[in-house]
């Protein structure tokens, strides 16, 4: 459904950028259906040591970072723990970049339109950090595409981008991306690598291997 909303980008020369982990399967489907190149924009949430699902900040592939100070204060996270959270998230980003790029250089995105994809928008903080990092690279128009999201986060992100495409827009006092899915599970790095390998595999290769 989300790829259908993006049909106008077919043949546009845009690059689909996945925010792993959850955004990668979504971006794979979009890139395949629109016949567009796929790459990654690695961003990691900064989380409290006691809850890896709650993000009060984020770090991007180029070191760009942002912390929701009000949220961190509400969670009772002091300066020392905030710094530790930044360092943990930065290590995760570096590890994932090395894993998913496998030594290959990042594509030249200067002036190119991009479609930035994640599995959903909760607060929008992770997406905003990704957008800021891409702006520093001098990309062309940035379009955000997500299967689901909170209306407040979508509006916030829309202020910084050319457009936001969201197939399932929700409201309410609280919103969790996982709650919008009928079936939900965390995406592992191994699953991303399998999807990446399948995408890079020449057409018909698996059938030929099966005959052997």
Tens-place pLDDT, residues 88-109: 999 999 999 988 877 778 889 9
pLDDT cut 90: percent of the chain above it: 62
Instruction: Tell me the pLDDT band of 192, cut-offs 50, 70 and 90.
Output: confident
pTM of the model: 0.87
167 domain-assigned: yes
Place of tokens 């991009």: 114
Average pLDDT over the chain, rounded to an integer: 88
Q: Is residue 209 situated within a structural domain?
A: no
pLDDT at 103: 72
pLDDT in tens, 27-38: 999 999 999 999
pLDDT score for 19 = 95
How far, CA to CA in Å, does 86 sit from each of 50, 58, 60, 140? Answer: 15, 8, 11, 29
What CATH number is associated with residue 35? 3.40.50.2020
Name the one residue in this structure whose structure tokens are 């990691």: 44
- pLDDT at residue 114 greater than cutoff 70: yes
Q: Residue 28: give the domain boundaries.
A: 2-198
Total domain count for the chain?
1
pLDDT at 190: 82
Answer positive or negative: Cα dihedral of 84, 85, 90, 96: positive
Provide the 10 A C-beta neighbour count for residue 53: 12
pLDDT of residue 134: 96
- Domain membership flag for residue 211: no
Q: Which of 154, 118, 101 is nearest to 17 (CA)?
A: 118
Is residue 40 scored above 60 in pLDDT?
yes
Q: Which CA distances in Å does 130 have to 52, 53, 135, 157, 197? A: 19, 18, 9, 11, 24
Region 70-81: mean pLDDT is: 90
Q: Is residue 60 part of a domain?
A: yes
**In the predicted model, is pLDDT for residue 26 greater than 70?**
yes
| Residue 208 maps to a domain | no
pLDDT band at 208 (very low <50, low <70, confident <90, very high): very low
Give the pLDDT band (50/70/90) at residue 212.
very low
212 within domain boundaries: no
Averaged pLDDT for residues 4-8: 95
Residue 205 lies in a domain: no
Residue 31 lies in a domain: yes
pLDDT digits (tens, 9 = 90+) for 50-66: 877 778 899 999 999 99
């Amino acid at each position: 459904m989300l790829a259908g909303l993006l049909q106008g980008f077919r043949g546009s020369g845009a690059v689909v950028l996945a925010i792993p982990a959850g955004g990668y399967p979504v971006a794979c489907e979009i890139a395949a259906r629109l016949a567009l190149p796929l790459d990654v924009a690695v961003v990691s949430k900064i989380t409290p040591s006691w809850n890896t699902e709650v993000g009060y900040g984020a770090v991007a592939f180029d070191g760009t970072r942002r912390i929701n100070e009000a949220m961190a204060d509400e969670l009772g996270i002091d300066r020392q723990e905030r710094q530790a959270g930044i360092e943990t998230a930065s290590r995760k980003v570096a590890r994932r970049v090395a894993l998913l790029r496998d030594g290959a250089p990042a594509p030249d995105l200067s002036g190119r339109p991009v479609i930035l994809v994640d599995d959903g928008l909760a607060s929008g903080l992770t997406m905003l950090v990704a957008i800021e990092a891409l702006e520093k690279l001098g990309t062309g128009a940035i379009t955000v595409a997500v299967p689901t999201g909170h209306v407040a986060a979508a509006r916030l992100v829309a202020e910084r981008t050319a457009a936001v495409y969201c197939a399932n827009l929700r409201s309410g006092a609280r919103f969790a991306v996982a709650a919008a899915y009928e079936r939900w599970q965390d995406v592992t790095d191994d699953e991303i690598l399998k999807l990446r390998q399948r995408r890079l595999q020449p057409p018909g290769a698996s059938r030929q291997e099966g005959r052997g």
